[in-house]
Amino acid sequence: MRGRRCCDGFIEAIGPADVIQKQFSEATFEERIDCSGKCILPGLVDAHTHPVWAGERVHEFVMKLAGATYMDIHQAGGGINFTVERTRQASEEELFRSLQQRLQCMLRAGTTLVECKSGYGLALKEELKMLRVIERARRELPVGISATYCGAHAVPRGKTALEAADDIISNHLPKLKELGRNGEMHIDNIDVFCEEGVFDLDSTRRILQSGKEMGLQINFHGDELHPMRAAELGAELGARAVSHLEEVSDAGITAMAAAGCCAVLLPTTAYMLRLKQPRARKMLDEGVIVALGSDFNPNAYCFSMPMVMHLACVNMRMSMPEALAAATINAAYALGKSHTHGSLEVGKQGDFIVINASRWEHLIYQFGGHHELIEYVIVKGKVIYKK
């Protein structure tokens, strides 16, 4: 049996329980947890979510089951545009309360660090509203947050992609830079939906390069529905990560491996949209760093990284150790936080979960069983959830 001690939110020691007990025999603790017969794992990291929005899209799920594609729905005014309208109508307080509830659901499923995107505002005023909600959550809620500006999630009605890109570069990004400089808002990443009928490769490059120049990490949607050479672009620009990649080319995989650009794979999306699965096996075999995300959004309603790991193993042929790494240390890498999160190491933040099983594999094996398995979720050395 091994023990862990956290001090000021960081892991101070790891080792056999008897050694830890002897080393800290004179220390006082707020709480001691008996983990006999249980497993301690790093807190899970969700590397891709869209958690700030209003209005459900269950009716679109019915349409998809009847054969409609993602782009069929998008071009008919549904999808992202439907959610944009509802999100613009919602108050900031309403959006915060719904985000708070969703993040609590993720915490109970073992997630302690979440990437949170804007992108259902599109106009500067509405994007800022979403980003203020994310900033408030970052300051007030226990879960760790990596904030992503995703104003290029879709082309706003009444604009061309070129006009939207110009607006983002000339107006959105300078405002974000000003707010960051004043300490009003902290943004970590910039995202663009690089896709046919949305933002082409040139517009994507312009927006991402502008974000990079103001210090944002590049972490964007690419090669999801059509081969766009987004992976090659990510490698060229020094992107931290590219998400989706269902349609990535062989050359794109090679380029990402060489550049250390992380592939954030989203098995829930491929499952729910009936897309072909990302080629996780080829990526891993060629040396790409593979992370996982839930892609939580109105189109892929999943809070659970244990279920994401299960789908990754079954549908993308990842091993359980590969899936666990992809949902912890590699996902932290995708967010530029692998030096502080994603593994149980002395000096790292004390984020971990305790599961009621003698083998950690049960967290993946028991599909949908995480609510019964997870007994404790600890963030910065404090118990945030106890079953």
Per-residue model confidence as pLDDT tens for the chain (387 residues): 455 555 689 999 998 888 988 898 888 888 889 999 999 999 999 999 999 999 988 888 888 888 888 888 877 778 888 999 999 999 999 999 999 999 999 999 999 999 999 999 999 999 999 999 999 999 999 999 999 999 999 999 999 999 999 999 999 999 999 999 999 999 999 999 999 999 999 999 999 999 999 999 999 999 999 999 999 999 999 999 999 999 999 999 999 999 999 999 999 999 988 889 999 999 999 999 999 999 999 989 999 999 999 999 999 999 999 999 999 999 999 999 999 999 999 999 999 999 999 999 999 999 999 999 999 999 999 999 999
Q: Can you give the residue ranges of every domain in the chain?
A: 42-334
C-alpha span between 360 and 153 (Å, rounded): 37
Q: Which of 254, 260, 242 lies closest to 285 in space, CA to CA?
A: 254
Residues with Cβ within 8 Å of residue 18, at least 6 apart in sequence: none
- Cβ atoms of 186 and 136 within 8 Å: the answer is no
Q: Which CATH number fits domain 42-334: 3.20.20.140, 3.40.50.150, 2.40.30.110, 3.40.1010.10?
A: 3.20.20.140
| H helix or E strand, kind and range, residue 47 | none
Q: pTM for the full model?
A: 0.96
Residue whose tokens read 């590219």: 242
The pLDDT value recorded for residue 1 is 46
Q: Which of 23, 58, 21 lies closest to 36 in space, CA to CA?
A: 21
The HSE-up count of residue 33 (CA atoms within 13 Å, CB side) is: 25
The pLDDT value recorded for residue 384 is 97
Q: Which of 131, 97, 116 lies closest to 49 in space, CA to CA?
A: 116
The pLDDT value recorded for residue 81 is 87
Strands 290-292 and 352-355: unpaired
Q: Which of 237, 300, 242 lies closest to 267 in space, CA to CA?
A: 300
Residues with Cβ within 8 Å of residue 315, at least 6 apart in sequence: 267, 270, 271, 277
